[in-house]
Amino acid sequence: MSISSKLLVDIHTHVYLPRYTSLLRSRSTVPFIHSITNSEGVAEDRLLILDHEPSGGRPVGSQYWDREEKLKFMDKHGIDVSIVSTANPWLDFLPASQAHTLASELNNDLEEYCATAPAVSSRQIKRLYGFGLLPLVPEIRTSALLDIVKQIGSLPHLRGLIMGSRGIGRGLDDEALEPVWAAIEKAGLVVFLHPHYGVDVSAWGDKDNGHVLPLALGFPFETTTAATRLILSGVFDKFPSLRLLLAHSGGALPALSSRLASCIDHDPIVASRLKHDARYYLGKLYLDAVAYGPEELGFLAPNRSVGSKRILFGTDHPFFPPLSASEKWTSVTENLEAIESVYGWNEDDKNGVRGGNAVSLFNLK
């Protein structure tokens, strides 16, 4: 076992870079940050990223933008390396030209955020790497998208890019994106597919359940749908080396993959389009280990398609903060305990999920 396989690497950890935060503060429609006076009479920043959010939005503070806070969080939880990504909703609310410029600037900002971070002690590996951003907005020129793929590929600390499920407005199965997949594959960048919109809010009903339903179900449903639509479009047949990392352990996709295969078998339109059984494509995906339970992770591992080598530790920081400042974050401890407790994983499997798989996937050496 190499030393690097003992690192703890967090591949699902977010930031709103100061340039992006400034933009959010300048806005008064979703997404935006505003200041409110809370119930104790103290001014507090709140973030609204979706229509229909409970009034006022969620509290945000320096842990969302300050690199020192990220490093403190990492130190507190023994995380050696973080591969940081801009949190949703990225850029799709902007006009094309502004999105193009801002993507380029934010990618340079993130490169600097990582490049000027400390290294892992006595190692060549930095403590911070990043996922860049594409200007995925309607009416963007393909050449602008290809420019930014090229930029990300040229920035040494960016090892992939994060994207939502809508592409340039019509989803990830839009044929207009094929040159982009080709360029991403060629550049060897990892695509981190992350939800934002969830599903139609009418599904959640009238009862006040806070954020539980959109976060616990809406997010995974969105990721599952987007990844399934990509599979059905044949993108993985056309771009077999494309590396796609799914947030939140792939949502519901692993648990529904045999049902998906059966439904495809009964639908000649789709069956004739694809070279392989649906589960073959599942086996080409990477999944984060943000599942909060050992059964869920253990399910992924013996599955005929997804082994422990394709599962990577993540925290979702700075979302899901602890209720008291002194506590460790349960979003971290539960996910680490889950990895430790998976029935049937040996130490190599666990070390891989904690960091070794990320070292390989993102070529951290």
**Among positive and negative, which fits the CA dihedral 225, 230, 234, 240?**
negative
Q: Which helix (H) or strand (E) holds 337?
A: helix 330-341
Does 258 participate in binding a copy of itself (rule CB under 8 A)?
yes
Strand order in the sheet with 32-37: 32-37, 43-48, 58-59
Pick the stretch among 36-44, 71-79, 104-112, 260-268 that binds a copy of itself (CB under 8 A).
Answer: 260-268
| Token pair for 198 | 């969830």
What's the closest the beta carbon of residue 211 comes to a copy of itself, in angstroms? 6
Does 217 participate in binding a copy of itself (rule CB under 8 A)?
yes
Does 39 participate in binding a copy of itself (rule CB under 8 A)?
no
Does 334 participate in binding a copy of itself (rule CB under 8 A)?
yes
Does 66 participate in binding a copy of itself (rule CB under 8 A)?
no
Single out the residue of 101, 115, 102, 78 nearest to residue 16, CA to CA.
102
What's the closest the beta carbon of residue 66 comes to a copy of itself, in angstroms? 22
Pick the stretch among 76-84, 111-119, 125-133, 199-207 that binds a copy of itself (CB under 8 A).
Answer: 199-207
Query: Based on CB atoms, which residue is closest to a copy of itself, 224 or 351?
Result: 224
What's the closest the beta carbon of residue 217 comes to a copy of itself, in angstroms? 6
- Written as one letter, the residue type at 131 is F
Does 246 participate in binding a copy of itself (rule CB under 8 A)?
no
Choose, by CB under 8 A, the member of 299, 307, 309, 360 that binds a copy of itself: 299
Does 63 participate in binding a copy of itself (rule CB under 8 A)?
no
Does 223 participate in binding a copy of itself (rule CB under 8 A)?
no
Enumerate residues 6+ apart whose C-beta is below 8 A from 207. none
In angstroms, rounded to a whole number, what is the distance separating the alpha carbons of residues 121 and 3?
13
Query: Based on CB atoms, which residue is closest to a copy of itself, 68 or 200?
Result: 200
Choose, by CB under 8 A, the member of 302, 327, 328, 365 that binds a copy of itself: 302
Q: Is the peptide bond before 135 cis (omega within 30 degrees of 0)?
A: no
| Token pair for 74 | 């990492």
In angstroms, rounded to a whole number, what is the distance separating the alpha carbons of residues 323 and 326?
9
Choose, by CB under 8 A, the member of 87, 158, 291, 339 that binds a copy of itself: 291
Q: What are the Cα distances from residue 38, in Å, to 35, 44, 114, 326, 345?
A: 9, 6, 34, 22, 46
- Beta 43-48 vs 32-37: how paired, if at all? antiparallel
**Among positive and negative, which fits the CA dihedral 165, 84, 155, 25?**
positive
| Token pair for 88 | 């949703």
Does 304 participate in binding a copy of itself (rule CB under 8 A)?
yes
Q: Could you list the residues that contact a copy of itself (CB under 8 A)?
A: 170-171, 173, 199-200, 202-213, 215-217, 220-222, 224-225, 228-229, 232-233, 248-249, 251-252, 254-270, 279, 291-293, 295-296, 298-299, 302-304, 320, 330-331, 334, 338, 343
